[in-house]
Structure 1
């Protein structure tokens, strides 16, 4: 007997030793083949979100079956309240044919607000590692019944609550879950799944769990701060920093759809640092292959006094697009601008297909005017596109309209920015109260360090909308007027959160619940090209005769384009200047427009000094060598003129007087008027300056006869001044000079004694 006990104990010890020291390892289960994964999703319409979902699914070669396409949606307004039961009913019907396929893994996900970040192999591997039959997505916020929170199993780490936007499981088990559905289409799908999961017996019998640490499913609601982009060489991933996981399915549930749109600009391969934009040329329209160009209604909005309006209209005129295909609608809210519009219309009345102006006498609000313009396109079946542009947009790219049409998006705008600033016509994100917030990529997009086509939550100033969108998705005509929102914000919110009203062909009381799911339109901004800029309308004073002259600070680029001679830059690139007398340099600086407007401004002011010695405008009240003039200070232009000297005269000074660095300061800045009847010449004198500029403001022969300047020391005269060109010469000691007589007409010059 003792012997038998010994043998038994010895045998057990040997078996234990074999198990401890054996070199054999347990066999890992074979990977699930990717052809055993089927994705089921419910979508009754091909929304922008659905098309993006399918794009990411196709990128990873998922097998997707879409349920309910074309059906009327009866699942309630799931974006704002409970609902979604229709999804469970459709899934239940689909699973009846799949219930006996034991080796089939079914992944059921939402589609309007969801993207894939990884492929089938990864999702199957992670599902297999979870070692459960059914795995639900998890989130940190309980919905829709907070009273059920205490019934959830506690977790040490991770998300505790079920989310129905993502479920993965073996087909028989998923079928057993959804087969319990016996509710209405507008009942809540998440509440249905929650009650099954919270039943301890069912949770054990069906072997269910939640994806607590976002290995597969990432729900963004309540977790935006945990998520960031991880850029790789082949594609971009979403990384959950709380659990150091790389979720495969990213769901923009709740109010995180705009953040999902931001992620979707990169994930999985939309844009990265190596190849840039991957889908910018998908589904583009080749205008050269069309029989004729599409009709475009151009809505122009002048809602406040706006500088450089004639130049705006000129750029509209020079757009490279057939003018017979352009119908122009102008809303002008400013009496001041009526003269500009009238002048443009008189010169171009027969250029466009139609040209309609709604003026300030109509007393329309900005929102009402924008609704009216958009409705002009909506009600005409021949209107293919609606192009909205505010008067503060300077389109420098003549191809803008063609480039936008070619991108083939429902709503798209060109990036335009304010010169030297980050101010632009789009927002990369919104704050919780619906106003501007800076997205991580905003600066790079504005500065065109990242170029592509970007899904954004807000745009203004300039954008293109397909006419078909206005007649279908946005057929409601009051899109620009929402309480407490300006028209641009109202339009964008209507586009983002677009949900159709109750079905008009369903008179029954329950039709109130028959709302389609939110089918928000995606709005895009493109910065693939340099399109132009925004001008500043702030501080635009219309009390002058030529108000744009004062815009040298607010809008320096447009000021330079309008008022600086087109050959000015050649001074530095081609040495485009002359030296007609020793140390007297002659160069182009003003455009003809600048010369004309300065003269007009002075004549409009009208108080010429008369060339008298007594002059209260200067220190001491006595001018030794007086001229018939008006000082820049008298018309309130002295600060702007000094800025002009620093920006455009000082660089020339450094070039011609090497080693001298001017302060760009002058006390005496004035326009002189020479006429035979008042003052025709100026006697020899020295200027009280280190150097002087003398800019001709009109043309010899056509405007006056005679004139010019003679330098005595060198016996050198310049008798043929060129309009817009400036003399620059030393002021003291060496360059005694006189103004030669004007024999006929009126001669105007602008003079500054610089560095007195």
Structure 2
């Protein structure tokens, strides 16, 4: 710290010079304006916005939600007219147009401008299919990825007619061909990296605290990642983005984990978000007595919890009733879902979701199956604090890698292991990881419940239904492996035909067996 007697004195002329410099810096427009086309706000559009914030872009969203939930539901002529309105009022020399639901910025503005300068083109379009080589831009290319000189683009886009039609977009494409300026379809991924399900040509590299992509086939480092608009490609981008935009790196570990975190320690227990605890017993399950004991000991005020139960196994109903008799009065409300009223697990879950949404105070639904043994009482408090759309605590079965999430999904909807699955399960990498599927137990935000309930896609089994729906609606699923939450019991060999059924589980569930006996 500089002492008062040696403090620096700024001369008047210096003050004037600095003042003029500051005013000029404030008034001068950024060289690049990024325009994100957006329907309704969702996790994907917020990810794109975050990537712009992390790297310091001048970012503008065009809100198209009155025309469609996502941009692909909006007519091309409407999107083009909105772009025209934005670029004609832009003072930036360059403009980048992206679909915010499908895109992530990978580097700083200077990196992006340098990549564009290297390509020596006035218009750079994302390539639809690299196998086709250079070609004229298609209408969808305009809205999924376009870098251009703002002045040229503004001149090329005609003034919108009083009645918009597809001819308006074609008139723009004709103008591009007729007017001055060079056009490039980026088939080498030097600027845009299009993400497909099969992304074996893409590798993640790290530079200090930042992850980036390298295309090993073309030996290029793209500055923008754009997913193809299908479920497989969107899930692939979700997985890659775990390591991008300063989210996680080997040097810093998880950088994004505490973003938007709810600090419950600063709240009174009476101010905690209200949760609906939904207990589902959907198969013959061992050790339900310790399951309910541990559930009752979760460190979260029961007067901030609504309880719902669904028991599809009649032999287990007695334990459910005993739990409700003992603790039911401690919860805000108790609702039992009758299995005869629901044809499957999907319908029972949607009923529980509706119950939460019908209660104005219900902020989250905590879904818990009977196979989940919470050994850490702070689990629910921790999951609420993450403030994400859907989060599953990482839990595994004894001595196997069966866990509460999948790292990838095959094209036929079956299980597929991701490259980082073992590292996450073994906690060699710790953080909050976007994953394609979660199961057994997870917490859902009110927004996520609303999105899922409004357009539910029923698939072969419940978890896959949830995955298809959330992928379509851009609701992100996470698994959290920063804490030791507990274990999953293995119900595979469990039978209800013995006098003491749990005693037969010594080998398949030894940890739970020993723990339960010690507590008797």
Length-normalised TM-score, structure 1:
0.60
Distance 1:162 1:242, change over 3 A: farther
Describe how 1:201-240 pairs up with structure 2 within 5 A: 201-202=178-179, 205-221=180-196, 224-240=199-215
CA distance in 2, matches of 1:305, 1:435: 23
Residue 229 of structure 2 corresponds to 254
* 1:387 aligned counterpart, secondary structure: strand
Offset at 1:216? 1.3
Residue 133 of structure 1 corresponds to 122
Describe how 1:72-111 pairs up with structure 2 within 5 A: 72-74=65-67, 79=72, 83-98=75-90, 104-111=93-100
Determine whether 1:152 maps to 2:106.
no
From the CA coordinates, give the structure whose radius of gyration is larger. Answer: 1
Offset at 1:334? 1.1
Residue 275 of structure 1 corresponds to 252
Distance 1:443 1:215, change over 3 A: same
- Structure possessing the higher relative contact order (Cα contacts under 8 Å, 6 or more residues apart): 2
Residue 41 of structure 1 corresponds to 36
Residue 425 of structure 2 corresponds to 446
Residue 58 of structure 2 corresponds to 63
Q: Deviations over 1:241-300 (max 9, x none)?
A: 111111000111222111111111111211111110001111111113234222211111
* 1:265 aligned counterpart, secondary structure: helix
Q: Deviations over 1:585-610 (max 9, x none)?
A: xxxxxx7x4xxxxxxxxxxxxxxxxx
* 1:224 aligned counterpart, secondary structure: coil
Offset at 1:139? 3.6
CA distance in 2, matches of 1:206, 1:491: 47
Determine whether 1:298 maps to 2:277.
yes
Q: Deviations over 1:518-564 (max 9, x none)?
A: xx11111111111111111111111111111110121111112123x
* Conserved 8 A contact 1:417-1:424: yes
Describe how 1:366-445 pairs up with structure 2 within 5 A: 366-445=345-424
CA distance in 2, matches of 1:310, 1:137: 57
Offset at 1:97? 2.8
Offset at 1:425? 1.3
RMSD, aligned α-carbons: 3.0
Distance 1:74 1:347, change over 3 A: closer
* Conserved 8 A contact 1:303-1:333: yes
Residue 311 of structure 1 corresponds to 290
Residue 23 of structure 2 corresponds to none
Offset at 1:394? 0.8
Residue 111 of structure 2 corresponds to 122
Residue 539 of structure 1 corresponds to 493
Residue 263 of structure 1 corresponds to 240
Distance 1:375 1:483, change over 3 A: closer
* Conserved 8 A contact 2:124-2:146: yes
CA distance in 1, matches of 2:320, 2:85: 63
How many residues matched?
A: 488
Which structure has the highest helix share of the two? 2
* Conserved 8 A contact 1:75-1:85: no
Residue 549 of structure 1 corresponds to 503
Q: Deviations over 1:362-416 (max 9, x none)?
A: 5642222222222111111121221110001111110011001111112212111
CA distance in 2, matches of 1:551, 1:127: 63
Residue 741 of structure 1 corresponds to none
Determine whether 1:177 maps to 2:156.
yes
Distance 1:245 1:561, change over 3 A: same
Residue 489 of structure 1 corresponds to 464
* Conserved 8 A contact 1:387-1:463: yes
Q: Deviations over 1:35-70 (max 9, x none)?
A: 3122122224332112111211111111112223xx
Residue 653 of structure 1 corresponds to none
Offset at 1:351? 3.1
Describe how 1:735-754 pairs up with structure 2 within 5 A: none
Offset at 1:436? 2.1
CA distance in 1, matches of 2:289, 2:82: 60
* Conserved 8 A contact 1:75-1:185: no
* 2:377 aligned counterpart, secondary structure: coil
Offset at 1:78? 5.4
Distance 1:333 1:115, change over 3 A: same
CA distance in 2, matches of 1:556, 1:172: 70
Determine whether 1:165 maps to 2:144.
yes
* Conserved 8 A contact 1:42-1:66: yes
Distance 1:223 1:128, change over 3 A: farther
CA distance in 1, matches of 2:429, 2:87: 45
* 2:86 aligned counterpart, secondary structure: helix
Distance 1:277 1:332, change over 3 A: same
Offset at 1:484? 4.2
Determine whether 1:54 maps to 2:68.
no
* Conserved 8 A contact 2:274-2:362: yes
CA distance in 2, matches of 1:87, 1:209: 22
Structure 2 unmatched ranges of 5 or more: 1-27
Structure 1 unmatched ranges of 5 or more: 1-32, 143-148, 154-160, 499-519, 566-590, 594-756
CA distance in 2, matches of 1:555, 1:188: 66
* 1:35 aligned counterpart, secondary structure: coil
CA distance in 2, matches of 1:551, 1:264: 41
CA distance in 2, matches of 1:461, 1:188: 51
Length-normalised TM-score, structure 2:
0.86
CA distance in 1, matches of 2:492, 2:111: 55
